[in-house]
Structures are given as structure tokens and as C-alpha cells.
Amino acid sequence: MNMTRYPLYLLLLAAVLAAGCVRTDDQLKPSPAESRSITTIIKNNYAFSLFYQALQRTGLDRLLDTAAGPFTLLAPDNDAFSLAGITADSLSRVDTATLGPWIRYHVILQNVPSASIPQTIDFTYPTLAGKPVYFSQALPIPGQHQNPSPGHLVIHVDGVGITKADIFAANGVIYDMVKPLTYPSYATVKDFLEHTSRYSKLTQALRQFGLLDKLAQPGPFVLLAPDNDVFDAHGIDDATLATMDSTHYKGMLFTTNIMTPNFFFVTDLADAPAPAGPLLNIPLYPTPDGMLTIGTSGIALLPFNYPELNYAGENIYIYGEQADITDPDHLTGNGLVQGIDAFIVLPDNVKK
Amino acid sequence: MKRTIYLFALLAAALSEGCRKYAELTPIDHPAYMRVFNDLPNTTTALNNGQALPFLTFIMDPQMDASGAPAGGAIVGDYMATRQLFSLSYPINEANSSVGVTFNAGIGNTQPSTYLFPLNFEYPGNAHVPAAPAINGFDLSAWAQVTSGRHRILFVSRPENGIAFNNLSQTIRSQVLIDTTVDLDAGEVYTLEAVSRDMSKPDYGLYFRHEAFTHESFEDDKLYVGFVNLSEKPSQLVRDGFAPAFPDRIAISYTYNIQNDSRSTGSTNTFYYPLPGYDNINYTTLITKMDTAIPYLSLPLLPNGYFFQADTLRTYGGINNTGSLPFVSFTFQDADNPGTPFLQLACAQNPATFNNFDNPLFTTANNTLPNLNLIVNISGQYHIYPTLNIMELVDNRVYLMQVQKGFNTLPKQ
């Protein structure tokens, strides 16, 4: 063997050893990028046939393919339309002037994968319709180990759940919605009331008590709204209502129904529950006249001394009834109307 | 032969170069010392969506991306949960993982929970950073060395998940709660705490305390306790008496309790007598909030004999008892509405288990803290160390920061 080669072998060995010792981080292969566009994915999936039909009628299918993205599409599938009582026939009968803003309200003007959403409630994102949608991601509560927990992503958009998040496309992301969103066509809570016949008596009552115009102010408001059936059940017809004089009642009648500055969808009560108050294990909301207990299990107005009354075995529901939210989440430009099925303050109980 | 030596030298150099895995930390010239806590007690709810999720990223001297959102910085303390109720002056979780932390989140928990995302209760905590030296006889290794001078400080509200701050979306990284500037002098010790100022609306700030205890003189045979009220402006629920929170003016009194051995018949049937001269003594009334200068109450460090019974160390308190060791109890009253104590706090628990198993937020031991006498076993022998304690009152919690005194000397027997 040629002795002069030893140094070369040694150098080669050193280089191999040195190279072997250099540590570099393992590189994960990037997942292959989705090459199909949002429109292509929706078009090719029969489960979204109704929504694709609506996209076509409003021209949004072409817009989503040609306009500069990225977009986030909040896409209700056919089951979602069915859940909302909308069939292919009824959807085809909606005129395009109404359909346009409604469907555009399902398009967010940026890429919003679920991991990018702040862990809070009612975080706004602008939509193609010009009005924002509200994303709520469930907050951790005591005993909840990891949130969102694997496989149980808890996200609501305008109080509507998500069947599947993060369907990635070349120009954005798709969320499969449990129900179609409702387009907030009214600028204020007052507008909503004045154009919704089932709340005509409440509207008249608020007008007579000088509260209706307040609901056109910036807010935000949550109006706990008993519908006409509640008034009828207590024998308050239009004639009786017309005779109700605000000076004959304590101020808490109807003012307790207006929560401000507040803004919540019904699902927010579970996604971000307020700490429970004493005795009833229900969150409390202070009003000038009593404690509103408000949770997923119902709403009631209790006197401030309700714990003492309860310990004494006395009735704590001295102002009105326990109400449930039966007509939820009517979003307007300055708040929400939550329809309830009872008077939380009965007029007869607060007569002067 | 000479050539072979050269070759081996070359080989050794190549090997040592190839095997160097981590860069050495650069020493910091004239450092200041900093410790950071997240004090935020509340979170956002459907009925009060003013507050933020109290899970933070602390950033010193942030770098901004093109959109103006922070994207890293000179120091990033990520995954900062609301602090634990008890913290020592040295990092007891040093080198531990931030993942799989067992901790009780608050009221309603009945069992310790293991969190599957990273969780840090302070900065530096378990971070691998140069720590402060002993100053004035205090072990300050829970404070990190940082460059002195002016620094920009950010606290950002982040989701509870395993995604590192730099990989969070620009939307999330923009959720800045606190953006301020601090001046740090070389050789000085600072404690920074993210605090909320109002329960009802988003109003956050930095509580910045230049620790004076490194310059003050303390006696070797005394315990010291200071108090500061960092509570928020109360909500209507608190004002109506439906949720507990410290009042604006807090009267504080104290008692030094010694077990009455002749009357006590078991761990749950214990009786105490007050140390003469330390029976329900009025100490002070805290009338201001967010004070940065803390006066200290001095208490005697009792002789060793008080801590042993027949040569056996007495016991710490448990879930339903306050044990047999000497302990100090404090009574907090509303100075404007005296008569009913807001809180009676017994400093009687075991510091080693307190945060994980005796969390007063949920157990029946909801009015306790660890013992102010720090008991350390050195070479099989127990030593009772004096401590300096800072109690920070936040809404309905008392955070105790205990700083060991004279750690480098054995205490007097």
C-alpha cells in the first residue's frame, strides 16, 4: 500500500466523522398544496349542490375564481339548507336581489383557517356583503383540559355551528356550516322590531314607555323580546296595551329587557359562560332593579336579596316568570334580538 | 511522525467543530434582572365580553412584521398562564417541560388537571437563560439577566394551544393588550406583572416594581411580609356583593399561632395559642392600589425548638387543618365596613405541594398559603430559613412571592 495515501484516508475519515456529527433539524415534508379552487371544490361536491346553485345565480362562482383572493367561504351544505327549511325549489324562487347580499354574507374577504381565529367570542371578519360575521371560539373553562380539544373544534359563526372546518382550497378555505347564516338586513334593533309583526305588541309597548328610540342608538344591545303570544297569554290585546300608561308602572317594566352594552348569541352563553352566582348556579347580570339570571337554562329577574328569600323558603320569582330564548339570534347593525317566551317582569307585579 | 500528529490535530479539530451542537450564550454586560408574571384573574364571558383571554405572550423589544404585528423579539415568554398562587425566589421547575403541567385552573375543579399545551407561569420560569446572582443575601435565581437600558414591553393575548407565537396568525399576534416602555438599570431587580385595571372593560397595564429589598437591610432572625393591592376596579356584581373581591381599603391584622400540644388531640382537632405580643395585632390599612414601594412587617424567626416535637419536625397544614408547625395568620377586613373579615388567611401549608394539590381556589383550604418559615433539609438536617414575603392581592386571590433570605449561610439554630 502506498504510505502517502494515509493522510488522505485520515482526512477523508475526519470529514466523514465531522459530517456525521453535524446535527440538523429534521425537515418535515410540506403537505401538498391544494390545487383546486373554492368554486371547483364546491361544484364537485354534491353535498354543496344547493349552495353552488346559489353561487351560480349570484355570479359569485365566477367572482371567486377570478377575483384576487384569498377568501373564506362559509358554505352551508344541503343538510344545512334542509335544517333551515329551505329546499331546492324554494331557494330557486328567491329573487336575486335578496339572494345576492345573503350569499355574499357567506364570503369573508381573507383566508381564515380555524387556527388563525382568536380564542374569544364575537370576533369580527368583514364579508363581501359589507357587514361583518362574528366568530366565537369556545373559551377554556375550569376542568377543560385542552381547547379546542382534538376532534372537537368549537367554533360558531353568528351563533351557527360548523360541521367541518378547514377544507383548504387553492384560493382560500371553506367551512361546512350547520345552517345558512341569516343576513342582518336591519340597521338597528328598532328597525327589526318595526318590521317584524310577531313583535308588534312589544314594539308598541316600548314606544309607549319611551324606550323604542333608544334601540336605534349605537348600543350594542341585546333585547330580550317577548312576542305577541306572550302578551296574548296575559290578556294584553291591542286595546289593553293602548291604555297602559308608563307612569303607572315602575321603571323596571321593559327596561329590564334591554341589556347594554351587551352582545351575545345564544351559543356564546355556553362558549364563554359567565361565573355562576350564589344559590342557583346560574350566571348573574346586574340591573338597577334586580339580578337577571341568564344562562343556557333560562332567564329570570330576581330581587337582590334572593338568597335570603330562598333560605327563608319564600318565592324568589316576585317580578315575573322564568323565560327561555325560543326565537334566538336576530342580528342587526346595533345588537341582537333574543325572542323569549315569557314576561321576565309582569306588568301586574310592578304597578305603582 | 510529525505529519501524523498534525493529521490527528486536524482530525480532532474537525471532530470538535462538527460536534458543536449549540452556541454558547453570550454573557450580558452590566445586566439588569427581570421576572415577569401574568396576573390577569378574569376572562371574557358572554355577559362581559370586555376582558381578554388571560393567556399571554410576553415580548421584550419586539420585532414587527410588514403588517405591523409583533413577530418575535429579543425575549419572548410564550404560553404565559395566570400565575400560580405561590412562587419562590428560585426556579423550582427549572429544566421541567412546559407541557403536561398539572395545575388547577380555578373554582369548580375538583381534581388536578393535566394540560396538553405548553404552560408557563412566569418568565423566565423554566427557560434556559442566565439568572440573577445572589444579592444582599437573597437567592434571586428566578430573575433573568437582561440587558439594562430602555426596553419596549408587549403582552399579547394568545389562544390556549400548542402553536408557538411566531406561527400564530397575524390576526392573533395583533391582539396586543399592553404596549409600554421600561427603563432597567444595571444591577437592579425588577418584577413586571400584567394587570387588569377594570373588571368591566378592557383596561390593561403593566405593574412595574423596582425591587428595593436588594438595598434594604434586614435582620437575620426576622421574617418579613409586605402587601400590595393590585385589584381591579370592581364590577357591578362585586359592588352588589354577589362576587368576592378585595375592597379598596383593606385593614390587615396578624397573629402568630403556636400549637397548644396539651389540648390538641389530632390533625383535625388542633388548638393554638398566640405567641405573646403577636395576638391579633393591627398592622396597617392599605389605602392605595398598585403601590411600587412596599413596607415590610417584621415577625420573629422562632428558635428551632418551636418547629420540632420530640426531635420530629412538626407537620404542615392539610386540606382541612393548619398542622402543628408555628404559622402566621392574617385577617383582611374592609376598612370602610369593618366587623366581618373579608378573608382570614393561614400561612400554614406545605410549599412543595401547595400549587398543585392545595390550590385554595377550589379546595376547602380556600384560606391558606404556604408557611412563611422556609424549612430546608440539608444533609439530613432540617434548617429553618427566614424569608421575605410579598403578598399581592388581586380581586379574590393572594399571590405570595417568597424570597429566601441568607440562603448561602446556615441559619442560626
Q: What is the mean pLDDT of each run of 10 residues along chain B (413 residues)?
A: 72 64 78 95 82 90 95 94 86 68 46 68 89 90 95 94 91 95 96 93 94 92 94 89 88 94 82 94 93 93 91 85 92 88 88 68 62 89 92 89 81 62
Calculate how close chain B gets to A73, using CA atoms only, in Å: 18
Identify whether the C-beta of residue B176 lies closer than 8 Å to the C-beta of residue B156: yes
Contact residues, A window 289-348, toward B, CB-based 8 Å cutoff: 291, 294, 304
Domain count, chain B: 1
Residue B54 lies in a domain: yes
Interface probe with B: pick from A11, A23, A146, A262, most Cβ of B within 10 Å: A146
Residue B23 lies in a domain: yes
Nearest CB to B46 within list A7, A19, A274: A274
Calculate how close chain A gets to B98, using CA atoms only, in Å: 14
Identify whether the C-beta of residue B407 lies closer than 8 Å to the C-beta of residue B134: yes
Contact residues, B window 347-366, toward A, CB-based 8 Å cutoff: 362
Nearest CB to A21 within list B15, B52, B113: B15
pLDDT for B212 equals 94
Residue B138 lies in a domain: yes
The reply to whether A285 touches chain B by the CB within 8 Å rule is yes
pLDDT for B237 equals 87
Calculate how close chain A gets to B172, using CA atoms only, in Å: 5
By C-alpha distance, the chain A residue nearest B45 is A272
Residue B412 lies in a domain: no
* Residue A270 DSSP code: H
Cis peptide before A148 (omega within 30 of 0): yes
The reply to whether B29 touches chain A by the CB within 8 Å rule is no
pLDDT for A142 equals 46
Residue B79 lies in a domain: yes
Helix, strand or coil, per DSSP, at residue B369: strand
Q: What is the ipTM of this complex?
A: 0.83
pLDDT for B103 equals 54
- E strand intervals along B287-396: 297-300, 308-309, 312-313, 327-334, 343-349, 368-370, 374-378, 381-385, 387-394
pLDDT for B372 equals 95
Closest by CA to A100, choosing from A49, A63, A66, A48, is A63
Residue B411 lies in a domain: no
Which pTM value belongs to this model?
A: 0.86
pLDDT for B101 equals 62
Nearest CB to B18 within list A21, A148, A268: A21
Residue B375 lies in a domain: yes
Residue B408 lies in a domain: no
pLDDT for A26 equals 65
pLDDT tens track for A94-134: 999 999 999 999 999 999 999 899 988 999 999 999 999 99
pLDDT tens track for A57-82: 999 999 998 888 899 999 999 999 99
| Binned average pLDDT, 10 residues per bin, chain A of 352 residues | 66 67 62 83 95 95 88 96 94 93 96 91 94 88 42 80 92 95 95 96 94 94 96 92 88 91 91 80 88 85 91 90 94 96 92 84
Helix, strand or coil, per DSSP, at residue A117: coil
Write the single-letter amino acid at A79. D
Which residue range(s) make up the domain with B194? 5-403
Calculate how close chain A gets to B289, using CA atoms only, in Å: 25
Calculate how close chain B gets to A54, using CA atoms only, in Å: 30
Alpha helix stretches (DSSP H) within B122-218: 170-173
Alpha helix stretches (DSSP H) within A147-293: 189-194, 200-208, 228-233, 238-243, 252-255, 266-271
Contact list in B for residue A271 (CB cut-off 8 A) is 46
pLDDT for A112 equals 94
Q: Cβ contacts of residue A293 below 8 Å, gap of 6+? A: A277, A280, A282, A283, A284, A285, A299, A300, A301, A302
